[in-house]
Amino acid sequence: MNSGDTAWVLVCAALVMLMTPGLALFYGGMVRSRGVLNMLMMSLASLGLVGVLWVLYGYSGAFGSDLGGVGLLGSPLEFFGLSRLVGAEDTSDTIPTFAFVAFQAMFAILTVALISGAVADRARFGPWVLFAGLWASLVYFPVAHWVFAFDTTNESGEITAVGGWIANRLAAIDFAGGTAVHINAGAAALALVLVLGPRTGWPRGTGKPHNLPLVVLGAGLLWFGWFGFNAGSALTAGTTAAVVFVNTLVGASAAMLAWMLVERVRHGKPTTLGAVSGIVAGLVAITPACSAVTPLGAIAIGAAAGAGCALAVELKSRLRFDDSLDVVGVHLVGGLIGTLLVGFFASESAPAGVAGIFYGGGADQLWRQAVGAVAVFVYSLVLSWLIAWLLQRTIGFRLDERGEHVGIDETEHAETGYHFGDAGSTLRGSAAGERGSVEELEGSVR
Amino acid sequence: MNSGDTAWVLVCAALVMLMTPGLALFYGGMVRSRGVLNMLMMSLASLGLVGVLWVLYGYSGAFGSDLGGVGLLGSPLEFFGLSRLVGAEDTSDTIPTFAFVAFQAMFAILTVALISGAVADRARFGPWVLFAGLWASLVYFPVAHWVFAFDTTNESGEITAVGGWIANRLAAIDFAGGTAVHINAGAAALALVLVLGPRTGWPRGTGKPHNLPLVVLGAGLLWFGWFGFNAGSALTAGTTAAVVFVNTLVGASAAMLAWMLVERVRHGKPTTLGAVSGIVAGLVAITPACSAVTPLGAIAIGAAAGAGCALAVELKSRLRFDDSLDVVGVHLVGGLIGTLLVGFFASESAPAGVAGIFYGGGADQLWRQAVGAVAVFVYSLVLSWLIAWLLQRTIGFRLDERGEHVGIDETEHAETGYHFGDAGSTLRGSAAGERGSVEELEGSVR
Amino acid sequence: MNSGDTAWVLVCAALVMLMTPGLALFYGGMVRSRGVLNMLMMSLASLGLVGVLWVLYGYSGAFGSDLGGVGLLGSPLEFFGLSRLVGAEDTSDTIPTFAFVAFQAMFAILTVALISGAVADRARFGPWVLFAGLWASLVYFPVAHWVFAFDTTNESGEITAVGGWIANRLAAIDFAGGTAVHINAGAAALALVLVLGPRTGWPRGTGKPHNLPLVVLGAGLLWFGWFGFNAGSALTAGTTAAVVFVNTLVGASAAMLAWMLVERVRHGKPTTLGAVSGIVAGLVAITPACSAVTPLGAIAIGAAAGAGCALAVELKSRLRFDDSLDVVGVHLVGGLIGTLLVGFFASESAPAGVAGIFYGGGADQLWRQAVGAVAVFVYSLVLSWLIAWLLQRTIGFRLDERGEHVGIDETEHAETGYHFGDAGSTLRGSAAGERGSVEELEGSVR
Amino acid sequence: MKLLTAVVQQHKVDEVRNSLAELGVRGMTIADVQGYGRQRGHTEIYRGAEYEVDVVEKTRIEVLVDDTDADAVLRAVVSSARSGRVGDGKVWVTPVESVVRVRTGETGDQAV
Amino acid sequence: MKLLTAVVQQHKVDEVRNSLAELGVRGMTIADVQGYGRQRGHTEIYRGAEYEVDVVEKTRIEVLVDDTDADAVLRAVVSSARSGRVGDGKVWVTPVESVVRVRTGETGDQAV
Amino acid sequence: MKLLTAVVQQHKVDEVRNSLAELGVRGMTIADVQGYGRQRGHTEIYRGAEYEVDVVEKTRIEVLVDDTDADAVLRAVVSSARSGRVGDGKVWVTPVESVVRVRTGETGDQAV
Ligand SMILES: Nc1ncnc2c1ncn2[C@@H]1O[C@H](COP(=O)(O)OP(=O)(O)O)[C@@H](O)[C@H]1O
Ligand SMILES: Nc1ncnc2c1ncn2[C@@H]1O[C@H](COP(=O)(O)OP(=O)(O)O)[C@@H](O)[C@H]1O
Ligand SMILES: Nc1ncnc2c1ncn2[C@@H]1O[C@H](COP(=O)(O)OP(=O)(O)O)[C@@H](O)[C@H]1O
C-alpha cells in the first residue's frame, strides 16, 4: 500500500464529491428564483440514490468481472454491497480497493446530476428520482465499464481479467470521462428535452438567472473539484497527476478567455455567466484529453471549447429545444470537442504517450476517439429516451401547467427558496400547539 | 515520518476546519433574515476563541499526561502554548505531533459551534463567547480526553501512558466522535434551551428559513469536510481510511433517502430542508460507527438515523422546547442512534474488528456503547446547564425582548445581512469627512 | 519521487486555486448589489488570463535561469509553454516540477485578484484585464523570482543555479509571500486608487456591503485555502508543514479576536465584517512568519495584525483615498506587520531556525525583513502607478460617471446579480424566434 | 385626472401592459405586493412544521389617466387581467387633483 | 367606496388582519415600505464606518371599504396597530370613485 | 389634507428628503417600484440570449401634507427630483378625507 497515493485518491474522491453540490448551486443560481430548490434537489437526489446504488451493485456492474468477456458489462452481483471486499486481504502496492470504489462513486453521482440542468422547472421530482436510478443502472454503470475498466494483466502481459471495450479493444483515450461522463450526460439531457418538451412560455418569459453570485460560487467549486476529477484519475500522485493538473488549469483558463471574447465580439460585452460557462466548457473538453496533451495543447483545446460552446448554446433557440441550462451545448458539445481534438493535439511527450495528427501521428487515434464518442452518444441517447418516454407514458414525468405556473419549488417541495422579509405566514395549528400553552412557555423565559 | 500519512492528516484537518464555516452557513440560512449574521458569528467566535484556547491549554488538557491515571483529564499546562512541542525531536514513524494537534483542534472548534443552532435569535453575543470558552474548557477538553486519548503502549504491550476512560477502560467504539462531538454538543444544546427559553412568539411567527440555497451550500461543505472528519480519524492513509470514507458516503446517502421518504409519507412532499437534514443526520450517526460496520451496515445505520431524526425533530413543538435549528433532534438523537447501533451492526470484517449483535457478537459491545453515550450525555447536560445558568444569573445570557423584536443582527452586531436595494442610509459625519472636501475629492477624478 | 509530498503539494495547489473564487465572493459581497458581478469578474479574469500567461512565460520568468546572475528575473522564454518540461526526465526525489508549477501558478493568479478590491465599482473591465496581464508580467513574475526562487546547490554546497536576491542574497524570511503577495498587491492597490480616484459620491452613498453571508463564505474559503498556501509552501508533508499549519490557524484566530475587541471598544459592538476582516488580516500577517515562529508567536503576530488593521482601515477616509475594500488597510498593512514582526518573534526552535529580537537574536533579521518589504513596496507602487496611468491616459481606465450611476454590472457586463422577482423583462425577438413557432412548440409538450 | 390602481395576478402584467399600449397609455408604475382575499394561499413544510401561507403574491399597477380615458382604461385593465379564477384582483379609480411631470414641470394631461 | 391606507409596524400586520377579519373585512393588499418620521432609525457599523440608517421598515396596508364601514375599519386598524410607542404609523382615508372586481366585473360594494 | 405621491429616480430620494426637511416636512413613506414610461430600459445578455428590460427601477414617495402646504411641497419635490433627463418621474396630489396618527389617535393636521 502506498500511503501517498492513497491520500491522493481519497482526497480526490472528496473533491469530486464536492462537485455535485457545486453543480447544484451552479445550476440553481441559473433558474428563476421559484425553481431554485427543485434544481438543487435533483442533484441532491443523485447523491442520495446513486450513492446507495453504487454500493449495492453499481461498482460491481462497472468493475466486476466482465460478463462474457466482451467488454460490455461487469457482473453486477459479484460485489453486491461491497461485502466481498470488506476485510479481504488487499495486497495492492498502490491504493486500497475501497479508495477506488469511493473515487468512482463520485463520478457516477455527478454524471446523473449533470443531466438535470436540461429540464429546469418542469420535471416532477418523483419521476426524476426514478429516472436517476434507472439511468444510472442501465446507462452509466455499463458505459463506465466500457471506458474505465482496464484489462488486468500479469507480468508476462497476458490478460487475466477483461475490461471494457472502449478502454481496451478500441483504445480510445478518455482519461477522466469525456465520453463516459460528459457525452453520456449530454446525450441523456437531449433525450429528456425531446421527451419533456420546453417550459411553458419558453423562450419568452422563462426568466433570467436569479442569482449569479451563486452560479459563480458553483463554478468555483466545480473547478476546484475538477482537479480531483482529472488529476485524481491518475490514481497515483506523481508526474502524470501533476501534468494533468496543469492542463486542467490552463484548459479552463483559455476557455474562459475564449468565451468572453466571443461575447465581446458578438454582443459587445463579456458577461459573468459567459465567463463561468467558459470555465465549465473548458473543463469538460480537457477532461478526456488532459493526460494526452502538452500545456500548449490544453490551451488550444480549451480555447476551441470555449468558443465552440459559446456558439453552440445560441443554437438551441434556433433548433427549438429548451435545453434549459445548456447541458447539451456545454457538456455534449464540449465533450465531443475534447474527445475528438485528442486525435489532433495528442503529443507523445505527454503522459499518455500517443501522437495525434498535429504531432506527427496519423489519423489512427482520431477515428478511435470518434468511434468511442459516437458509441456512447447513441447508446445514451436511445436508452435515455426510452426510459424517459416510458416514465412519461406511465406515471407522467412532466409537471402540469398549473405547477409550472405557480413554480416547481412550491408544487413539488412545498418550499420557497428565499424569505428576505418576514410578513405573511403563520404556523398551522397542529405544530403550533394551543395558544395558551405557548404563552405559558413564554412566561418561563428567565 | 510518513509523508503520505502526514499529507492525509493535514488535508483532513483543513477539511474539518471548513466544516465550521459550512455549519455557519447551514445554520445561517435556516434562521430569519434579520438573525443570519448572529448565527454566523456564533460559529466564527468558536473558530477564534477555541482556536486560541486549544493552543494555550486545550490540547494539553485533552492529550497531556493523564492526571492521576484515572482517565478523566490530561495535564492542562504540560504543553501550554505547545511550546514544549516546537522543535522537539519528532521520531514518530507516522505523522508529526503538530499534524495531530491541528486535526484535533478542528474537532474542538466544530463541537462548540454545533451548539449554537439551538439558541437562534436570542443569545447575547458577549455571553455566548464566554459560554464557548467555558464550555470548551470544562466540557469539551475533558470529554475529548475520555474518548480520543488512547493509551500508549510499548512493544511488549505494557501501558506507558494512560489515556481516557471511555476509549480504553470502557472500550466503547467511537471512531470519530459520536459521543465526544455530537452527543456532547446535543446535550449542551438541550441545556441552553432549558436555560434561555424559547424565542418570543415561538412557535408562531419565528420565521421560516430565509435562504435555503445557503443551507444546501452549508450541507455540501459539511459533507465534504466530514470525509476528513471521519476518514482522517484513521490518522493514516490506508484501508481503514478508505473503508471509512465509503461508509461516510453511503451512510449520508441512505439517511437522505430515508428522511425524504418519511416526509413523503407524512407530509406528501419531500423537501429540500428535509434532504439536507437527512444528510447531516446520516453523517452524525455514521461518525462513531464508520470503522466498525460494512457498507451495508452503514446504509442501515444511515437509514435509521434519517428516519429517526425526521421523526425526532417534530417532537420539539410537542415537548415545548425551542431547539431552534434542531441540534437536539439531529445531533443528540443521531449521535445516540449511531453510537448504539454499533452494538448491533458492528462486523468483524470491518476495520474495527468487533462483532455486534446482528453479526454474531453478544450484547457486550452494546452496553459499552450505552455507558459511553450516557456518561457523556449526563456530564455535558449538567455542566452546560450550570455554565449557562450562571451566565444568565450574573451577566444575563438572553437578549431582551426589544432586541429580539428588532432583530439580533442589528442589536448585537449593528449590521444587516443583506442590502439588495440601496436607499436610505448615510455615512455618519466623522467617517465621511466634511462635505466640502468630499466634493474636492470628486473633482480629483481624472 | 515522493508520492506523499506530491499528493500534498497538488492538494495545496487546488486549495490555493479555491482562494481566488473565495476572494471573489469575499469582495463581491462587500460592494453594493449592482456592482457584485464586476467584482467577481475581476477575480475570474485573473484566473483566466494569468493562468494562461503563467504557462506561456510566467513560470519561466519567475523560475527560469537567472538573467545575468543578479537575482532580478528568470529567463522568460526558457520554459515557454512549459514545453521543455513535458516528458523531461524528472528525477527529483520530492515532487514533480509540474506540481511546483501548478502550486506557484495559483499564487500569481491570487495576487493579481487581490488588487481588484481597491477599485470597486469604477474600473472598466477591458482595461482591468489589460492591467492584470501587464502587472503580472512586469511586477509579479519578477518579484516572485526575487522572493521564491531559491539558489540550487550541489552536495558540496556550491551554488549551481542562482535564485532571487531577496530569498538568497538578502535572506529575508518570507515563507509564503508576505512581501511577494500581500505587500506587492497592497502597493498596487494603492497605486490604482491614486490613478483612478474615488467612487463618485464617496465616502457618502457608495453603499454598505450588500451580502454579508457571501462575505463570510468567501472568508471561510480563503482560510481553508490558506492552509494550502502556507503549509503547502513547505513543499513536503512533514513537521514544517504541520507547524506552519497550526500557526496559520491560531494566527487567524487571534487576529479575529483582536479585531472584534477593537470594535467592541471603539464602536460598542463586534461586527461580522470585522470578524472576517480580522481573519484575513491575521492570515496575511502570519503568511511570511508562519515557519519562523512558535504558536505563541503566531498568536502575538495575529493579534497585532488584527488590531493594527482594524485601526488602519479607519484611516482611509481621513487620508481621503477610496481603497474601497481595504486592500491597503488589510494586505499592505497586514503584510508589513507580519514581515517586520518576524524580526521580533522569530524563534530558533521553529522550523526556520532563526532567532528574532525577542528570542535572543539581534536586529539582524529585522533589517533584512525591512529591506525586503520596502524594496517590494517601492517597486510595485511605482510600476503599478505607471501601468495604470498609461492605461488611463490612452484607452481610459475609469468608468464614466453615467456608468457608475447606473451600476457597473449593467454597464460593463449587461447583467444584474440578482432577480428575486420575475416581472418585467421579455426575451428579444431574434433569440425568441417568431411567436408562432413558439406556440407550436408549446403544443408539442406530451 | 384620475389614478387607476390595479392589483392583479403577477403573470397578467404583460397582458395588461399590452392592452394599455393599444389605448396609447405607455406609462405606469408597478410594485410587488402581497394580497389577502378569497384566494387561498398554499402550505409550506419545514422539517414537519407546516406553515400556512395565506398571502398571495400580486402586482400592483398604478396608471395616471385623463378623465375622459379613465373608463376605457379601466375596462381594458379588467378584461386583460381576467382569468376568471378567484384571485384575479381589484381595480379602483381615485380622483387626482394635480399631476406634474418632474422633468419639465408640465401639469395636467400634458404630464402623463 | 373609500380606500384606507395604513402604514404600520411590520409585526402588527397580523393583529390588524385579525381585527379586520372580526369586522368581516377579509381582503387587503400589503407591501413592504420604508418610513421616515419621528422614530429614529439605528446605526450600522462596517469596518469602523458608522452608517446612520434613518429609515424604518414598515408595512403598508391598503383596504377598500364601503363608505359606511370606513369609520369602523379605521378605528379597528388604529387600535390594533397601536403599541403606544413612536413609529406606530399613520392611517388615512381617500375617496374612491369606482371599484371593479376583475374576475367578475362586479363594481361598487359587490367588488370588495 | 392631501396625499402627495411622487415616483422619482432612486438616487434622488436623498435630495427630495432634504428639500422637504427644509420645509419642515420630516415624515414620509417610500417604496421600491418599477416604472414604465418614455425612458428606455436596458438590455441584458445571458449566453447570447438578449433580454430587453423595459422597466426602470424607481422610488415611490408618499407624503401626507396639510392643504396649505401642498403646493409648496409639490414644488419642492419637483425641483429637487429634477435632473432634466427622461425618466425623472411624476408627482401627483390626491385628496385625503382623514388622517390618524396610530400612536395617539390624533387626527387631521396634528397627525402628520
Ligand atoms: N378589500 C380589499 N382591499 C384591498 N385589496 C383587496 C381587497 N380585497 C381583495 N384585495 C386584493 O385583491 C386580490 C384578489 O382578491 P380575491 O378576493 O383573492 O379574489 P377576487 O377579487 O377574484 O374575488 C387580493 O389578493 C388582494 O390583493
Ligand atoms: N407625512 C407623512 N406622510 C407619509 N407617511 C408618513 C408621514 N409621516 C410619517 N409617515 C409614516 O409613518 C411612520 C411612523 O411615523 P413616526 O413619525 O415615526 O411615528 P408616529 O406616527 O408614531 O409619530 C413613518 O415611518 C412613515 O412611514
Ligand atoms: N401614466 C402614468 N401613470 C403612472 N406612473 C407613470 C405614468 N407615466 C409614467 N409613470 C412613471 O413615471 C416614470 C417616469 O416616466 P417617463 O415617461 O419615463 O419619464 P418622464 O416623466 O421624464 O417623461 C415611469 O418610470 C413611471 O414609473
pLDDT digit string, tens, across residues C283-333: 999 999 999 999 999 999 999 999 999 999 999 888 889 999 999 999 999
Residue with cell 478502454: A167
* Beta-carbon separation of E95 and F98 below 8 A: no
pLDDT tens figures, A34-77: 899 999 999 999 999 999 999 999 999 999 999 999 999 999 99
Count other C-beta atoms under 10 Å from residue E59's C-beta.
Answer: 24
Residue B80 burial (C-beta neighbours within 10 Å; 0-12, 13-18, 19+)? middle
d(CA A170, CA A150): 12
State the smallest CA–CA distance between residue B3 and chain A in angstroms.
7
pLDDT level of residue C423 (50, 70, 90 thresholds): very low
Question: Any chain C CB within 8 A of the CB of D18?
Answer: no
**Contact (Cβ atoms closer than 8 angstroms) between residue A262 and residue A217:** no
Chain E hits for D93, Cβ within 8 Å: 96-99
d(CA B213, CA A314): 28
H helical segments located in B232-314 = 239-267, 272-289, 295-312
Distance F91 CA to ligand 3 centre (A): 9
The more confident residue out of A429 and A20 is A20
Cβ within 8 Å of B, D 48-67: 48-51
Q: Which residue of F has its CA nearest to A265?
A: F48
Tell the residue nearest (CA) to atom 21 of ligand 2. E89
Instruction: Enter the pTM of the model.
Output: 0.92
Chain F hits for D29, Cβ within 8 Å: 7, 33-36, 58, 60
Residue B102 burial (C-beta neighbours within 10 Å; 0-12, 13-18, 19+)? buried
pLDDT tens figures, C383-412: 999 999 999 999 999 999 888 877 899 889
The percent of chain D in helix, strand and coil, each rounded to the nearest 5, is 30, 45, 30
* Beta-carbon separation of C428 and F14 below 8 A: no
Chain D hits for F2, Cβ within 8 Å: 97
* Beta-carbon separation of A48 and B275 below 8 A: yes
* Beta-carbon separation of D30 and C424 below 8 A: yes
Percent of chain C with pLDDT over 90: 83
Identify residue B274 by its one-letter amino acid code.
G
Q: Which of A172-186, A298-312, C301-315, E13-27 has the lowest mean pLDDT?
A: E13-27
User: Chain-wide mean pLDDT for chain A?
Assistant: 92
Distance A208 CA to ligand 3 centre (A): 25
Q: Where are the beta strands (DSSP E) in B291-355?
A: none
The more confident residue out of E19 and C443 is E19
User: Which residues is F107 bridged to in the sheet?
Assistant: F100
Q: What is the pLDDT of residue B436?
A: 32
Which ligand is located closest to the Cα atom of residue F61? Answer: 2
* Beta-carbon separation of B204 and A427 below 8 A: yes
pLDDT tens figures, A115-138: 999 999 999 999 999 999 999 999
Between chain C and chain F, the number of residue pairs with CB atoms below 8 A apart is 42
Cell numbers given for A415 = 418550499
- Beta pairing, strands E49-53 & D49-53: unpaired
* Beta-carbon separation of C224 and B87 below 8 A: no
Best residue for ligand 3 mutational test, from D1, D13, D20, D29 (most atoms within 8 Å of Cβ) = D29
d(CA C361, CA C339): 16
pLDDT level of residue C436 (50, 70, 90 thresholds): very low
Q: Which of B10-24, B250-264, C257-271, F31-45 has the lowest mean pLDDT?
A: F31-45
Q: Which atom of ligand 3 is nearest to the CA of D25?
A: 1
Of A266, A271, A310, the CB nearest to F46: A271
pLDDT at C422 over 90: no
User: Which residues is F2 bridged to in the sheet?
Assistant: F65, F95
B222: CB partners within 8 A, 6+ apart? B19, B22, B23, B26, B279, B280, B283
- Beta pairing, strands F56-65 & F2-9: antiparallel
pLDDT at D49 over 80: no
Q: Which residue of F has its CA nearest to E80?
A: F102
Which ligand is located closest to the Cα atom of residue D111? Answer: 3
Q: What is the pLDDT of residue C430?
A: 35
Average pLDDT for C201-225: 90
pLDDT tens figures, A153-175: 988 889 999 999 999 999 999 99
Regions of chain B short of the pLDDT cut 50: 423-424, 430-446
Domains along chain E with CATH numbers: 2-111 (3.30.70.120)
The more confident residue out of C230 and D45 is C230
Q: What is the pLDDT of residue E42?
A: 76
Distance D17 CA to ligand 3 centre (A): 14
* Beta-carbon separation of D30 and C422 below 8 A: no
Cell numbers given for F83 = 435632473
Question: Any chain E CB within 8 A of the CB of B444?
Answer: no
Q: What is the pLDDT of residue B438?
A: 30
End-to-end CA distance of chain D: 10
CA nearest to B193, candidates B131, B109, B120, B130? B120
d(CA C263, CA C273): 10
pLDDT at A317 over 90: no
pLDDT level of residue A446 (50, 70, 90 thresholds): very low
Helix (H) or strand (E) segment spanning residue B148: helix B141-148
H helical segments located in E1-112 = 13-22, 67-81
Average pLDDT for F76-94: 93
Chain A hits for E30, Cβ within 8 Å: 423-424
* Beta-carbon separation of D55 and A423 below 8 A: yes
A307: CB partners within 8 A, 6+ apart? A258, A259, A261, A262
Mutate to test the interface with D, among E15, E23, E63, E103 (most CBs of D within 10 A): E103
Identify residue A324 by its one-letter amino acid code.
S
The more confident residue out of A92 and A211 is A211
Q: What is the pLDDT of residue F47?
A: 66
d(CA B36, CA B117): 11
